[in-house]
Structure 1
Amino acid sequence: MSSTHEVDLQEPDYRFSLANERTFLAYVRTALAMEAGALAVVQLLPDVASEQWRRVAAVVLAVLGLVVAVSGYRRWASNQRAMRRGRPLPDTWLIPVLTASVAVASASAVVVLLVSR
């Protein structure tokens, strides 16, 4: 008989574990794309905006990449725990934040491209 401190863990269906892993890898790809975008803004767009604007944009993208990578791992781990315990998957704040961040970055890129030369 298990005590109140022990949690009955069960192995989830491997298809759900693999789907959770694929989702985590999508977060990693998104984080890498943000990091690549940060480097591209600084290195490849000298004529688009001032150096200060490019550096700010690069830092924002790099920080977002870091947040997405770390949060993606935490989401993967919490989903795995929930599946093993037979509990509902936890809610996440990452999806709306990521959506808003990409929308702001895209809108900023459009504005910069429209006002540059």
Structure 2
Amino acid sequence: MSEERTDRDWISRTVLPGGEEPDPRFTLANERTFLAWIRTSLAFLAGGIALETIGDGIFPEGVHRALSILVIAIAFLISLGAAVRWWRIENNMRKGRPLSLPLIVPLLSLGGAVAACLIFGMILG
């Protein structure tokens, strides 16, 4: 493994120590994927805020509050997962390791399915 370059800034050396610089195209692709997950997180956050704001007359009090909290919690987890995924991918690329599967995908799928089922049940019930 080559010596670490000293022209990297301190935050790069701290967050991503060691390894070799990957092709910038792969680093930028990883960043674009991170930003896509952040947009998804912001959409869930907006949905949770909307549920809390306008869901009062549509759903019973406890249900609309629980749905709002669930959707906002999913937004938080997606945002956190996006950061962890970005770091793991970048770190693996620098060290020549295989890329790991994203935990964020089943999390998003499960959270979205649970929220949809709850809303569907409320509409039918």
Correspondence for 2:51 among 22, 29, 41:
41
Of all paired residues, the percent bearing the same amino acid is 35
Aligned: 1:61 with 2:71 = yes
Asked whether the equivalents of residues 89 and 100 of structure 2 are also in contact (C-alpha less than 8 Å), the reply is yes
Structure 1 match to 2:60: 50
Correspondence for 1:9 among 13, 19, 41:
19
Structure 2 unaligned blocks of 5 or more: 4-16
Helix, strand or coil for the counterpart of 2:56?
A: coil
Structure 1 unaligned blocks of 5 or more: none
Distance in 2, matches of 1:42 and 1:2, equals: 53
Structure 2 match to 1:70: 80
Helix, strand or coil for the counterpart of 1:87?
A: coil
Aligned: 1:109 with 2:119 = yes
Q: Deviations over 1:72-116 (max 9, x none)?
A: 10110110000011111123322112111112212222232333x
Distance in 1, matches of 2:68 and 2:94, equals: 39
Counting only pairs closer than 5 Å after superposition, residues 22-41 of structure 1 correspond to structure 2 as 22-41=32-51
Correspondence for 1:97 among 87, 107, 110:
107
TM-score (norm 1): 0.84
Asked whether the equivalents of residues 28 and 72 of structure 1 are also in contact (C-alpha less than 8 Å), the reply is yes
Helix, strand or coil for the counterpart of 1:10?
A: coil
Letter of the 2:121 counterpart: V
State the aligned residue count: 112
Cα RMSD after superposing both structures: 2.1
Distance in 1, matches of 2:49 and 2:88, equals: 31
Following TM superposition, where does structure 1 have runs of at least 4 consecutive aligned residues deviating by more than 3 angstroms?
Answer: none
